[in-house]
Structure 1
């Protein structure tokens, strides 16, 4: 899960966004070539919901879009309460290494706002050879994301400015400025995105997945591998369509019962814990800019962030400076993956010792999918805020939010000051949430494997524990390690356990752990 509230108040941007699988540049999919093949006749695709026959029985045309890849568009209604109304198209990209007749394994990278179409482009790094030899790994862009009728809010320059803006919600001036910025942002999103802006909630996206199951998967059950926010999307699907659940793996889970403040508290603890682990590792090696012990290093990091609020650092990227908001994001991003800790050390050393924010700015841009030329690879920033504001009902008021911000600062002195703006942002959003935050049971489903990483900063291990307990047929697989999410080909213990379930149907034993 990422942590961005509304593309730019990176103060609150950090932590509702922690739902991306990893912070890495996305790869754009090759443009579709002219050759097409008609989809084969449907197999057993299960029952068709009354009134939605035209969507569940539609025939799609596959287009070649790179070696071993094919792409398609699937029509779905904007509003599922009005199936005869306006429609949109969901973009799908499939790796056909297993052969065109092989079953589909649908994936989602998280976000919300992550592109499955882009993610499947590096299927060889995402999934093991065993998995790719059994399934056609299939990515899709959820409604409003990237190639699926993308939401539009700001141009690239305006997005740069909003991401760099520092918001101090504890002063009257800062609060009013944030209200003005967020109000203008919401209006721009509504003007540029239209009706779809009010229908990009996770429940609607889950219903789209059931159409994809029938039209693309051509099966009565859906097989799925979801990361981070993708676990909430998968759990929502399982709750809506428990009998349609095939082999499901949810890695780095969200607890669907948590409120916005509950998410913020969990992530405050998670990133503070991750920072401690990083600082200990940094101080054990050469050239660490954080001196003394871990506690002293944390204080130095906090003072560094404070200094950026009054003295942003110059960077190699023209007139762009490393502000406090961008500095936070530049540190948050490599905390998602232990393999990126050396880059964080380089960035902090450059910033703290040389007064140059270039590396940390590059890391911040990585999270936001900003290209070197100033363009943005996808609209993940816009989609993130829009989806979250429909999924999380606003609770409380200005006074309560101020108290919650103080609690976050106590929980996490380093990262707490960046949190607590999500409720304000969604209170000013053009569309109000009607969702209910509650446990998900998916009663009657096939087994669902939930993976939790003990050192996950973005989706803390306790959330995976909670989801596994909530699900009637949930099975927890624990990874004792650092970083966000656990399944990847080079993590052999987790990869073997996941493959054994997805390929062979073998559910991990109770209490199964990897390290």
Structure 2
């Protein structure tokens, strides 16, 4: 999910990863700023490794091996690894290493801020290296910014590798229900016994794949899988904070999507250690820690239909030149919805063949995949124009672009091929008995319940962006699993940010955190679509974060912020907008777009300042 999970296939959540060509992102943005131009799989922030450390830190816990940051020279940034206890309750278990990158404060240092880009699976090291000056612009220049790769993720060791190679990991999911999603033959008759039978059959395949995946993880990783849960990452942050800033130093934090889970764990496990904390795109921590993952979408999707309607309404107003899903300007949005449903229903009967492209293998597009992609696109308003174009092409018979967003490009790194499961399967409750183990029938019925009661269009489409499930087969349990309470008292209220139309981390979750910590949190509401506030530009939201982190100003609870950009902008919109902004505001706008670029790997999910 935050993806702050990874891509239109995974979001980061900053959720969980479709892999977008970086050249489109950087070239477009740079040309825009100079007046020339014009968010993995789709998973929450990008998890692609930017570099590989050639050495690991060795020695006792607290030892650090600093070195140059491979991939470039970064002024003011230190890279390396820090040795941490593998198990904070068993010193004999040995050590692990956490990959780190630190951007040093340029003014009088107030402390350090730990960054998490979501997922679970996002690399904080990559985030900092790609957006260091822009995060500084957002949070202030009196902080050391620390990007770190949590246990099992990125360059931290041991990495989560359940397969022998990248090719083996790709072949495992190729053209399966994991890659293509669950197909609902039609949402027009959700009470059909035939539909339920079809869903049960697909979920039998899903469970068999998950069992095989878990067995492979156990074979390749063994006991190392025990140490990757969120509670252990909180212990790492506590440990690293005292190494970097001294014993008793306050822990400051900024994160989104899954990063909001890490933040909620952090402030409730160690309330006396917390300084300033910002969480964005809120995941319900009670469900995360107390419900099996197949029940999570029921609450995750409570704002999804609202976001979908905004997508259709904005497309309608934009007209064919900006949104080719429309037949004419101001065509009723219901017409667009009907044509898309006809397309999904047709794919359920006859998948669309997709020949090979320059970036992916040949294959086919299923109804489950197309609907799952559209849900991921709803997370990223910056890619709504590209999404509409790709769906229009697919409805005309060319599904290559949609298929390219599903299939990872050849040559993808073999890093962390099951990192998300390594976290979620330690955080969620283990089945208490055989009766608690969800069957294919249980999964089908839970999906139908979500379709009927929450989101008729996307109730069974979460799996492409949030690849959870199968934890009943997971071969490990962690040394610690935190389940609350979630009502900690903090010295400084935590800043909680939610969008009114976030399709996967709904505002109801932000309201929940705020209600559980009424005197220790303030809720900022961004009035717009997308996953996390970073998905759109809001000077109001950015200024509140900067004032909070750099000046200690806590906004009023319930403060509302408008967004500053349309979802289908006319050519030249941002060029004119930027001219009208003060230099300070223009820097903030540039900052949020470049943080988008770092979080949403590739250009189509990023706001273009053209």
Q: Which TM-score band applies after superposition, normalised by the shorter structure?
A: 0.7 to 0.9
- How many Å apart are 1:216 and its aligned residue? 2.8
Query: Matches of 1:81 and 1:54 in 2, distance apart?
Result: 16
Query: Helix, strand or coil for the counterpart of 1:74?
Result: strand
Contact 1:231–1:253 (8 Å) recurs in 2: yes
Residue 419 to residue 92, structure 1, CA distance change in 2 (3 Å): closer
Change beyond 3 A, Cα 1:54–1:250: same
- Give how far 1:296 is off: 4.0
8 A Cα contact 1:2 1:14, kept in partner: no
The residue correspondences of 1:197-236 to structure 2 (distance < 5 A) are 197-218=225-246, 220-236=249-265
| C-alpha distance 126-362 of structure 1, shift in aligned 2 (>3 A) | farther
**CA-to-partner distance for each residue in 1:208-244, whole Å, 9 max, x for gaps?**
1111111234461011101111111011111121111
Larger RCO, structure (CA 8 Å, separation 6 or more): 2
TM-score when scaled to structure 2? 0.71
SS in 2 for 1:304: helix
Structure 2 counterpart of 1:387:
423
Conservation of the 8 A alpha-carbon contact between 1:165 and 1:323: no
Give the CA deviation at 1:505. 0.9
For residues 186-205 of structure 1, the aligned pairs below 5 Å read 186-205=214-233
Alignment of 1:106-255 (within 5 A): 106-124=114-132, 126-129=134-137, 131-149=139-157, 150-154=159-163, 155-161=165-171, 162=173, 164-166=175-177, 167=182, 170-171=197-198, 173-218=201-246, 220-255=249-284
User: Counterpart of 2:473?
Assistant: 428
Taking structure 1 as reference, are residues 262 and 294 closer, same or farther at Cα in structure 2, changes over 3 Å only? farther
Does residue 100 of structure 2 align to residue 92 of structure 1?
yes
> How far does residue 484 in structure 1 lie from its aligned partner after superposition?
1.2
> What is aligned with 2:74?
67
Q: CA separation in 1, counterparts of 2:362 and 2:404?
A: 14
Instruction: Report the Cα offset of residue 293 of structure 1.
Output: 3.3
Please, which runs of 5 or more residues in structure 2 have no aligned partner?
18-38, 184-195, 563-610
Contact map agreement 2:16 2:45 (CA 8 A) in 1: no
Could you say what secondary structure the match of 2:277 adopts?
strand
SS class of match (2:255): strand
SS in 1 for 2:395: helix
Question: Number of aligned pairs?
Answer: 484
Map of 1:362 onto structure 2: 404
Change in CA separation of 1:130 and 1:360 when aligned onto 2, cut-off 3 Å: closer
Equivalent residue number for residue 390 of structure 2 = 347
CA 1:80 to 1:261, structure 2 compared with 1: closer, same or farther past 3 Å?
same
Shift of 1:18: 8.0
Partner of 2:586: none
2: CA distance, partners of 1:189 / 1:94? 32
1:313 aligns with 2:375: no
Q: Deviations over 1:157-215 (max 9, x none)?
A: 34434153125684454333223211111111122222221221111111111111112
Q: CA separation in 1, counterparts of 2:63 and 2:462?
A: 46
**CA-CA distance at 1:148 after TM superposition:** 0.9
Farther-moved stretch of structure 1 (356-365 vs 244-253): 356-365
- Asked if 1:494 corresponds to 2:504, the answer is no
Q: 1:54 to 1:375 in 2, by over 3 A?
A: closer
2:304 aligned residue? 271
Equivalent residues of 1:289, 1:352 under 8 A apart: no
Q: CA RMSD in A?
A: 3.5
Instruction: Give the Cα separation in 1 of the matches to 2:146 and 2:468.
Output: 34
Question: TM-score when scaled to structure 1?
Answer: 0.83
Mark the CA change 1:130 to 1:282 in structure 2 (over 3 Å): closer, same or farther: closer
* Kept in 2: contact 1:165–1:325 (CA 8 A): no
Q: Once structures 1 and 2 are overlaid, which stretch shifts more, 275-284 or 494-503? A: 275-284
Aligned with 1:304 (options 343, 348, 360): 343
* 1:285-317 residue CA offsets vs partner (Å, 9 max, x unmatched): 215326663344334334433444441330423
Matches within 5 A, 1:34-73: 55=61, 58-65=62-69, 66-68=73-75, 69-73=77-81
CA distance in 2, matches of 1:500, 1:449: 11
Is 223-232 or 356-365 further displaced after alignment?
A: 356-365
- 2:301 counterpart SS class: helix
- State the SS of the aligned residue for 1:417: coil
Whether 1:293 aligns to 2:329 is no
- Residue 497 of structure 2 is aligned to residue 451 of structure 1: yes
Whether the 8 Å contact between 1:468 and 1:475 is mirrored in structure 2 is: yes
Is residue 454–residue 479 contact of structure 1 (8 Å, CA) maintained in 2? yes
Partner Cα separation in structure 2 for residue 223 and residue 18 of structure 1:
18
- Shift of residue 416, structure 1, vs aligned partner: 1.4
Counterpart contact for 2:286–2:484, Cα < 8 Å? yes
3-state SS of paired residue (2:382): helix
- Whether contact under 8 Å (2:152, 2:422) holds in the other structure is no
**How far apart, CA to CA, are the structure 2 residues paired with 1:359 and 1:489?**
23
Alignment of 1:6-45 (within 5 A): 19-20=15-16, 22=39, 23=44, 28-30=49-51
1:29 positional shift: 3.8
Mapped partners of 1:197, 1:505: distance in 2: 39
1:19/1:110 contact within 8 Å kept:
yes
Deviations along 1:314-359, one digit per CA (max 9) or x if unpaired, are: 0423323334454344323322221111010111011111x22222
Q: 1:41 maps to which residue? A: none
Could you tell me how far 1:27 is from its partner in structure 2? 6.5
1:436-461 CA distance string (max 9 Å, x none): 65551223443211111111112101
Question: CA deviation digits over 1:378-413, x for unaligned, max 9?
Answer: 42x511122112112256433544332211121322
* Residues 164 and 326 in structure 1, CA contact (< 8 A), matched pair in contact too: no
Q: Which structure 1 segments of 5+ residues have no match?
A: 39-52
Q: Which moved more, 1:481-490 or 1:278-287?
A: 481-490
